[in-house]
């Protein structure tokens, strides 16, 4: 699918980060875009950017929690009505959230919230939207995993269980769909995206989605941590979105986003048995 003009594209988590940039860039190609997010305010900012970038572009915003199948069905129905269609061409399962690092010291509720959004949202959105992809003459399902989908660590001294487990599930699910779609819906392709460190407000979003009520000092810390994460990223969200769209155009089923993702993938493959030794994790680059 090299041309997105007039294609109907669905993006979860379109209010910030890579999701926002996907919405902007897809709209600029002439696609009709529908996005969902938990934050109406963030989606309004995305739409304002689209209107400035691409006047006249058609973008639908719908508030939905991707861990709730009923809300995803409402999102689907809004798309069918808005674009007077019975199909979609592109489905970007992009929404995700960090949290629940430890099975031992963290609250179960935070662990499960992370897992239900980051894995459950991909599974449920695929369940809801796959019939619409199948109904199109050609379509692509794009699932965002992470480097934490092939390497379950952010360092030897920091547990990272919920997010890593969720991203491993996304990777396995997406790879399993390759054969399923080839046999049962060969006109639908599936793509696995594994970004490295991308400049997104992932820390800030986690505080909001987990409904954390920090003290003033904690709020300042979270804000500083979020800025640091964004500012030190080797790749911007806009660059990541561009890499994803180019991967879809060139029919790649596996897209590693960022030089750090490529380097870590090679390193883990070279020494899988030692991948979780303390000495293995060193800064890449």
Active site residues per annotation = 163
Termini Cα distance of the chain: 33
Pick from 4, 64, 59, 68: nearest CA to 30: 4
SS3 244: helix
Contact (Cβ atoms closer than 8 angstroms) between residue 145 and residue 94: no
- How many helices and strands in the chain, by DSSP H and E? 10, 9
Q: Do the beta carbons of residue 142 and residue 191 sit within 8 Å?
A: yes
Do 13 and 94 touch, CB atoms closer than 8 A? yes
Token duo for residue 168: 């491993």
User: Can you give 65-101 as a three-state secondary structure string?
Assistant: CCCCHHHHHHHHHHHHHHCCCCCCCEEEECCCCCCCC
Q: How far apart are CA 56 and CA 46, in angstroms?
A: 14
């Amino acid at each position: 699918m090299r041309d997105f003009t007039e294609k109907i594209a669905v993006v979860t988590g379109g209010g910030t980060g890579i999701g926002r940039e996907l919405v902007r860039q897809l709209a600029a190609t002439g696609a009709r875009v529908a996005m969902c997010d938990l934050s109406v305010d963030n989606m309004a900012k995305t739409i304002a950017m689209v209107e400035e970038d691409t006047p006249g572009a058609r973008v639908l915003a719908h508030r939905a929690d991707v861990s709730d199948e009923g809300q995803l069905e409402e999102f689907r129905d809004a798309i069918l009505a808005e674009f007077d269609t019975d199909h979609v061409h592109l489905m970007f399962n992009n929404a995700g959230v960090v949290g629940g690092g430890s099975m031992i010291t963290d609250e179960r509720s935070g662990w499960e919230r992370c897992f239900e959004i980051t894995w459950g949202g991909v599974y449920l959105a695929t369940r809801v939207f796959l019939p619409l992809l199948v109904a199109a003459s050609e379509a692509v399902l794009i699932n965002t995993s992470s480097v934490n989908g092939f390497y379950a660590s952010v360092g030897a001294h920091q547990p990272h269980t919920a997010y890593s487990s969720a991203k491993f599930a996304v990777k396995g699910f997406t790879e399993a769909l390759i054969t399923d779609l080839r046999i049962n819906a060969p006109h639908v392709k599936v793509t696995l995206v594994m970004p490295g460190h991308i400049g997104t407000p992932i820390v800030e979003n986690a505080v909001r989605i987990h409904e954390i009520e920090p003290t003033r000092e904690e709020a300042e810390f979270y804000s500083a941590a979020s800025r640091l994460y964004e500012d030190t990223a080797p790749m911007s969200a806009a660059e990541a979105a561009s890499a994803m769209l180019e991967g879809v155009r060139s029919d790649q089923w596996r897209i590693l986003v960022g030089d750090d993702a490529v380097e870590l993938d090679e390193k883990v493959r070279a020494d899988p048995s030692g991948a979780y030794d303390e000495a293995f994790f060193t800064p890449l680059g």
